[in-house]
């Protein structure tokens, strides 16, 4: 990695730039700044807690073709890397899998860290593969993250609403405006799968991207990694830069 790219990555984190596979145009996604307390906490957790799980993140990242820092970012958003975490809705474990999702993935014990990371990693790649293949990989990962949080059925409802509004739910700039409407009664006739807390999904995606940025800044060797799985797994999110406005 060049000194210029490294300095840009460290000094100008305001916009996340995903380089597209095969030279396609890039997507710029503004990052929500973390508070000083949040920054301090994740830096402490990277030092003290991440080493306990890093090998599993890397292992299943390689196995399924998912950047390990993205898996780790999702896990941090979901549980702060606390394998005993339980949400108010009853989801459990490091990757906060629901009972139904765990059953579909063949996960016997959601509080078994290895099973949770494997299941969450597989599920992320599964959702990525469900998104249209003509999209750039960064846009597909955004769809995967949104689907991971709100559920694929609810995300399909959002795409239906986007068509009615002549918006593009495959672009984050539109998707983040559409998702909060999932909780609005006036739009429920557009939805086949009912109302949902779409603003929570916006927060989830933006938080994950922020943690992903932080992890890649901490582990710059991730930035220049070329292949994380086999020849069928293209660059995905391997090549990124952080640039200023």
The residue with greater pLDDT, 170 or 243, is 170
- For residue 172, what are the CA distances in angstroms to 12, 36, 183, 234? 21, 26, 18, 22
Number of C-beta neighbours around residue 171 at 10 A:
15
Tens digit of pLDDT for each residue in 79-103?
999 998 888 877 888 999 888 888 8
Task: Give the integer Cα–Cα distance in Å for 166 and 113.
Answer: 42
**221 in catalytic set:** no
pLDDT of residue 15: 53
pLDDT range class, residue 17, cuts 50, 70, 90: low
From the list 38, 58, 78, 111, the catalytic residue is 78
Q: Give CA angle at 127 (147, 62), nearest 5°.
A: 125
pLDDT of residue 123: 96
Is pLDDT at 226 greater than 90 in this prediction?
no
Strands 15-18 and 27-30 turn out to be antiparallel
Q: Whole-model pTM above 0.85?
A: no
Average pLDDT of span 98-117: 89
Average pLDDT of span 151-180: 97
Tell me if 45 sits within 8 A of 76, measured CB to CB.
Answer: yes
**Helix axis angle, 152-164 relative to 137-150, nearest 10°?**
120
Is pLDDT at 62 greater than 80 in this prediction?
yes
From the list 141, 123, 148, the residue with the least C-alpha distance to 212 is: 141
Cross-sheet strand order for the sheet of 27-30: 27-30, 15-18, 240-243
pLDDT of residue 16: 59
Task: Give the integer Cα–Cα distance in Å for 15 and 106.
Answer: 37
Tell me if 202 sits within 8 A of 64, measured CB to CB.
Answer: no
Task: Give the integer Cα–Cα distance in Å for 214 and 212.
Answer: 5
């Amino acid at each position: 990695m060049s000194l210029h790219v490294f300095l840009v990555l460290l000094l100008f984190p305001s916009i996340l730039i995903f380089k597209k596979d095969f030279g396609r145009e890039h997507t710029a996604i503004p990052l929500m700044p973390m508070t000083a307390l949040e920054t301090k906490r994740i830096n402490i957790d990277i030092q003290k807690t991440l080493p306990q799980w890093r090998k599993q993140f890397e292992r299943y990242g390689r196995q399924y073709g998912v950047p390990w820092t993205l898996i780790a970012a999702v896990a941090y958003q979901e549980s702060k890397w606390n394998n005993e975490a339980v949400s108010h809705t009853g989801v459990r474990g490091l990757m906060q899998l629901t009972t139904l999702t765990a059953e579909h993935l063949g996960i016997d014990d959601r509080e078994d860290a290895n099973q949770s990371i494997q299941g969450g990693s597989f599920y992320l790649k599964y959702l990525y593969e469900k998104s249209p293949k003509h999209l750039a990989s960064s846009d597909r990962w955004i769809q995967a993250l949104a689907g991971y949080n709100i559920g694929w059925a609810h995300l399909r409802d959002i795409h239906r609403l986007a068509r009615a509004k002549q918006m593009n739910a495959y672009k984050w700039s539109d998707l983040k405006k559409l998702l909060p409407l999932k909780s609005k009664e006036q739009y429920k006739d557009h939805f086949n799968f009912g109302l949902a807390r779409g603003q929570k999904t916006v927060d989830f995606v933006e938080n994950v991207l922020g943690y992903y940025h932080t992890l890649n800044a901490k582990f710059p060797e991730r930035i220049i990694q070329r292949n994380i799985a086999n020849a069928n797994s293209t660059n995905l999110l391997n090549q990124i830069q952080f640039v200023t406005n």
